[in-house]
Amino acid sequence: MTELQDAARRLLEEGTVQVVIGWEAGRRGARPVFVTDSADCDRLVFDARCVHDLAVFLNPRRSQVAGLGKAAVVVKGCDAKAVAGLLRESQLGRDDVVLIGVRCGGVAAGPDGAEPPALTAETVAARCHGCDVREPAGVDVLVGAPQPEPPVAPTPDERVAALDALSPAERLAFWTAELARCTQCYACRQACPLCYCERCVVEKSEPQWVETSPHARGNFAWHLTRAQHLAGRCVGCGECERACPVGIPLGLINRKLQQVVYQLYGYTVSDDPAVPAPIGAYAVDDTQDFIR
């Protein structure tokens, strides 16, 4: 932890960056913090409660963050994939940000709690299943000791398979019940590090492609759009599902699309910005079994 604080302090004192975005221990649990004064660096923590994907603050259109000056951001291995996504899509220059990578042995499902919880199969976040990036790639500073593999959490795969086994009409009924609760608050969009459009299609009204009335049909259009726009880009950080105030299992849709892009195009989301995302690229011999 002091290693993280020292790295942040050095970056601020040297004037390399004007703000360090990390986590602090708040009253109810870990929460994001913006440190602009090197004297405050001892507030920075990293433990299993630090679930937030702080790459969301690197969105160049978040002017209130960009206004603080050049940022250093603390990233876990999975967060580094989101940063790689922003770099891949030219939303960010590699020199515009300093990445402080923390070695991570898994995080809890949520940030709450006065103390970091002991990680077990029950408490660990689903996204930590089969983690291959306990050491973040492509960072400027790497802190922390090497971490053991996180406990094996139940994956959403079983629930995805259970849905796949149903008939289309049954799936429609399942998602109607789930999506009927959506109020189109767009918390899922705001929490997503890769939903960065200056003007979202849902806010365009001429023509109005997505019905903004929060009935199931408008909600279907919204969630279809959100999922399709994230296909092959979603890093599986699970922030959308965590942000959802009515508990819609968005992770199932994201997970399904991760499986689809892997099956169709052999693509798994990469922490290397040079690897192109599957949508927006193509191969001449792509599968076309579904096309007559």
Partner 1 sequence: MEASFEPRITAFVCNWCTYTGADLAGTSRLPMASNVRIIRLPCTGRIDHLFVAKAFERGADGVIVSGCHPADCHYTAGNYHARRRFGVFRELLSFLGVDPRRLTFSWVSASEGGKWADVVNETVARVRELGPFDAYHRLADAPVPDGDPFAALESATPRADGAGENEPSGVHASEPGRGRAAATGGSGA
Contact positions vs partner 1 (CB under 8 A): 159, 162-164, 166, 168-177, 180-181, 183, 201, 209-211, 213-218, 220-221, 223-225, 227-228, 231-232, 245-249, 253, 256-257, 260-261, 264-265, 278-284, 286-288, 290-292
**Cα(197)–Cα(194) distance, integer angstroms:** 9
Minimum gap (Å) between residue 222 Cβ and partner 1: 10
Residue owning tokens 């951001």: 73
**Cα(9)–Cα(193) distance, integer angstroms:** 26
Q: Which is nearer to partner 1, 72 or 244 (CB)?
A: 244
Minimum gap (Å) between residue 157 Cβ and partner 1: 12
- Spatial contact of 116 and 48, defined as CB atoms under 8 Å apart: yes
Alpha helices (H) in 69-180, listed in sequence order: 77-88, 157-164, 168-179
Minimum gap (Å) between residue 209 Cβ and partner 1: 5
Compute how many other C-beta atoms are within 10 angstroms of the C-beta atom of residue 81. 28
Q: Which is nearer to partner 1, 39 or 172 (CB)?
A: 172
Residue owning tokens 């995302």: 277
Give 262's contacts (C-beta < 8 A, 6+ positions apart). Answer: 268
Minimum gap (Å) between residue 167 Cβ and partner 1: 8
Minimum gap (Å) between residue 233 Cβ and partner 1: 11
Cα Rg for the chain, rounded, in angstroms? 20
